Amino acid sequence: MPKNLVIVESPAKAKTIEKFLGKEFQVESSFGHIADLPSKELGVDVENDFKPKYTVDKEKKALVKKLKDLAKKAETIWLASDEDREGEAISWHLAEELGLDKNKTKRIVFNSITKSAIQKAIENPRDINYNLVNAQQARRVLDRLVGYELSPVLWKKIKPGLSAGRVQSVAVRLIVEREREIEEFTPEASFRIKAEFKTNQGNVFAAKLNKTFPTKEAAEKFLKENIGAGFSVSDLAQKPAKKSPAAPFTTSTLQQEASRKLYFSVSRTMQVAQRLYEAGLITYMRTDSVNLSNEAIAAAKDAILDNYGEKYSQTRNFTGKSKGAQEAHEAIRPTDMKLQSPQLERDQAKLYELIWKRTLASQMSDAQLERTNVKIKASTHNEEFSANGEVVKFDGFLKVYLEGTDDEDGEEQEGMLPAMNVGEPLQNVFISATERFTRPPYRYSEASLVKKLEELGIGRPSTYAPTISTIQNRGYVEKGTVEGSERNYVQLVLEEGKVSDKQLTEMVGSEKGKIVPTDIGMIVNDFLVTHFTQILDYNFTAQVEEDFDEIASGDEDWQEMMKNFYKDFHPNVLEVEENAERASGERVLGTDPKTGRQVSVRLGRFGPMVQIGTVDDEEKPQFASLLPDQSIGTITFEEAMTLFELPRKLGVYEGEEVEANVGRYGPYVRFGKKFISLAKGESAFDVDMERAIELIKEKQKADAPIATYEGKDVTKGKGRFGPFIKWNGMFINVNKKYDFDNLSEGDIAELIEAKKKKEAEKLVQEWPEEKIRIEKARWGRHNIIKGRVKVELSKDVDATKITLEEAQALLEKKSPKKKAKTKAKAKK
């Protein structure tokens, strides 16, 4: 039995550490926190110093017992969870729940999983840092109080199933306020002047006037002033300039840059970075420090000298601007600068390369540039055109890496200008005056939202990814494409002594991959901002983060902080619950011309809807759901009334009724019991019977059997997980090994037999007469299944010993709830 027990929080981390420690060490994983606040109650004693009630989840009890037994046999227990507040709390929970002997227990931390880092940590153990533990407890308890007290208010005043959170609600507020700015924005037009000139040597270059004209008339007047004018170079300035590299990555800058360059979501970036860290390839990925250790700087210098030479090396120390940067972390960097392209799966390789390049570039020389500015005068007026050029004299760090930008208005960097001299005459090719409009603020991308949260001091490195995931999962915001609209604009062109006028069109307002608030997100936000001003205040949220930092440094008592917060927060919750009116985001759009009843749009139990009539009318109101791309805030009366035309009956085909409608997945044609989606760009309001029959025939052809096997039909199709065949009620995925369009009888038999074997291996017990079976599920679990009812068994239950009576009893417990739900829907 090894003398030393090392406990980390993840199996992947355990696997890597095991390689560096000898036979005297046994490395085990706690699989994250072994104790937490209970999921089905508040779990905080607000009457007794906000004492948390930590419980061990029933699924972790077997693991806790195993770790406890191992700890008793070990001479020394090393708690090696991550070096941030969350990791400190994991170590503390382990010490408490396992009842570890303080004299046998040592806490070690390292910011990279390498042999030298781990050996250094073992040589320098410490005790659990209770200030860090208390900072984590404070965040956990405060967030639990906010979530548990605010969410029921939202259920009562808006809609069941909603949730609120201290950081998530503030993030939603940012997105909602940006959307309102966009909605209220009125574009202002002006005319921008551009010109093209030619030198005596025949080189053409572009120039612009650093002034705009407010009207078409003013722009046209200026163009006419240039008819017959002579042009020459009035001034020419060349200045040296330099460009410096960006600092190494923090959590926030890594998330932003991976979004810009690799198109990763924030959560994807963190998942991939976690794997790289656990494999020992990069330092800890939750940090707001831009600092590099002396060893890292020296290793980067060696790599630069080996690859590029002395003149490319410039040692730099960066200091962060982030308030309350957490603990003494390093920036995110490779653990071995000599390892440029390790053998990794695709996403890991891309992110590793980004981190390697950024780290290397941070220790490289400035890029040396030469910027040229040319001024061009006309003989007929006093306005001057200007042209700018930039030449890279020495590439420096640009040889490796240039940071991306979120500036969507940025024009491409102008290149080199042709050689010219002051006084040199120039030939004008053309001058254009183009109508341009001021732009509304851009919607947030995931990366720019992280940047904004960091600027405001809201959240910390560990919170950005879960916050953005949460607000999307809750349905408060969505990421997708915003369809733009066409806009007309004017362009005047002076060419060969004549001014011509062109009418052009452009698409405006279209954005891809941006975060847009949903109707429910806007309604919840407005309710919270109105009734819980303090919680939704940006400065308050940032101040709370500073309080956590004070607790972490031992300068503030966490329970005192809770008292100060709760004494105002709780009475506010009670008052709102008692007195606030229900919120539905209702807008009155007009009056129905047929009935004279009120037409309004609001949030209903099943989502946004239009309503004709009110509950006070004798006749029941009529309802119609909004289309996926419509919003309570922007839908017009005409668009709302059109919704009552659905479903549209198109006719009868092969004895079955055909109609067009819109569902949660978009517009479709219904043919009997079959639902056939319309193609992108097709509308349920426009599709006719001819097109519907075409779609039905395509569906029938796709659904027709392609073969029979053991007397049963085989069909094929494509679903969300790719191509499949269906046989005897089973869906069987068809991987790339097979030619899906030309499946042979042998292929079909092979696929079906493989699936049958897999299903047989999954089966633990079966009672065919009762149509009940027990199957293996993921992560070592088991499910009892009858029809569509599924009951998951906990890991500590032996599925092979369950009797029919026990299985029926467990299914009975679950079934009545489903029936009750169905009845409630039927009643509605």
The helix (H) or strand (E) run that includes residue 601 is strand 598-604
SS3 746: helix
Q: Of 551, 472, 537, nearest to 139 (Cα)?
A: 551
Which residue type, as a one-letter code, is found at position 105? T
Q: pLDDT tens for residues 632-655?
A: 888 999 888 988 888 888 999 988
Mean pLDDT of 61-89: 91
Structure tokens at 73: 């046999």
CA within 13 Å, CB half, 224? 7
Mean pLDDT of 572-592: 91
Q: pLDDT tens for residues 458-489?
A: 888 888 999 999 999 999 999 877 777 889 99
Residues 6+ apart with CB under 8 A from 482: 443, 509, 510, 511, 512, 514, 516
Q: How many helices (H) and strands (E) does the chain have?
A: 20, 32
Structure tokens at 690: 């001819």
Structure tokens at 576: 């709102």
Q: pLDDT tens for residues 238-280?
A: 999 999 999 999 999 999 999 989 999 999 999 999 999 999 9
Structure tokens at 553: 């440094």
Would you state the pLDDT for residue 818? 42
pLDDT of residue 821 exceeding 70: no
> Length of the chain in residues, anyone?
828
Mean pLDDT of 773-786: 83
State how far the Cα of 795 lies from the Cα of 772, in Å rounded to an integer: 20
Mean pLDDT of 573-602: 91
Neighbours of 791 (CB within 10 A): 18
Would you state the pLDDT for residue 476? 94
pLDDT of residue 794 exceeding 80: no
pLDDT of residue 815 exceeding 70: no
State how far the Cα of 461 lies from the Cα of 485, in Å rounded to an integer: 38
Instruction: Annotate 670-697 with b (16+ C-beta within 10 A) or e (fewer).
Output: bbeeeebebeeebebeebeeebbbebbe
pLDDT of residue 59 exceeding 90: no
Neighbours of 752 (CB within 10 A): 20
Q: Is 172 exposed, middle or buried (0-12, 13-18, 19+ CB in 10 A)?
A: buried
Structure tokens at 765: 């017990």
| Alpha-carbon torsion angle 206, 207, 213, 215, nearest 10 | -20
Degrees, nearest 5: CA angle 755-760-765: 150
State how far the Cα of 815 lies from the Cα of 819, in Å rounded to an integer: 7
**pLDDT range class, residue 735, cuts 50, 70, 90:** confident
**pLDDT range class, residue 321, cuts 50, 70, 90:** low
Q: Of 216, 261, 260, 590, nearest to 450 (Cα)?
A: 260
Please, where are the H alpha helices in 532-557? 538-552
Strands 189-198 and 425-437: antiparallel
What are the start-end ranges of the E strands in 60-134?
A: 76-79, 105-107
Mean pLDDT of 5-11: 91
DSSP 158: T
State how far the Cα of 373 lies from the Cα of 782, in Å rounded to an integer: 73
Which residue type, as a one-letter code, is found at position 97? E
Structure tokens at 7: 């406990």
The helix (H) or strand (E) run that includes residue 584 is none
Q: What is the mean pLDDT of the chain?
A: 89
Catalytic residue among 54, 148, 277, 284: 284
State how far the Cα of 152 lies from the Cα of 155, in Å rounded to an integer: 5
Would you state the pLDDT for residue 825? 41
Yes or no: say if 755 and 712 are a contact pair by the CB < 8 Å rule: no
**First-to-last CA distance in the chain?**
65
Share of the chain above pLDDT 70, in %: 95
Long-range contacts of 716-724, Cβ-Cβ distance < 8 Å, separation of 24 or more? 716/740, 716/743
Whether residue 38 is preceded by a cis peptide bond, meaning omega within 30 degrees of 0, is no
Q: pLDDT tens for residues 201-245?
A: 999 999 999 999 999 999 999 999 999 999 999 999 999 999 999
Q: pLDDT tens for residues 675-706?
A: 888 887 788 888 899 999 999 988 888 778 88
Please, where are the H alpha helices in 98-215? 115-123, 130-157, 166-184
User: Which has the minimum average pLDDT: 189-193, 665-669, 760-764, 819-823?
Assistant: 819-823
Would you state the pLDDT for residue 484? 78
CA within 13 Å, CB half, 613? 12
Degrees, nearest 5: CA angle 211-217-219: 30
User: Which has the minimum average pLDDT: 430-434, 495-499, 597-601, 788-792?
Assistant: 788-792
Would you state the pLDDT for residue 408? 55
More confident position, 91 or 161: 91
Structure tokens at 53: 């009630």
Would you state the pLDDT for residue 762? 85
Our answer to whether residue 352 is catalytic in this structure is no
Please, where are the H alpha helices in 192-265? 216-225, 251-262
Q: Is the dihedral of CA 378, 381, 382, 386 positive or negative?
A: negative
Share of the chain above pLDDT 90, in %: 56
Q: pLDDT tens for residues 535-567?
A: 999 999 899 999 999 999 999 999 999 999 999
State how far the Cα of 629 lies from the Cα of 444, in Å rounded to an integer: 19
Mean pLDDT of 338-358: 93
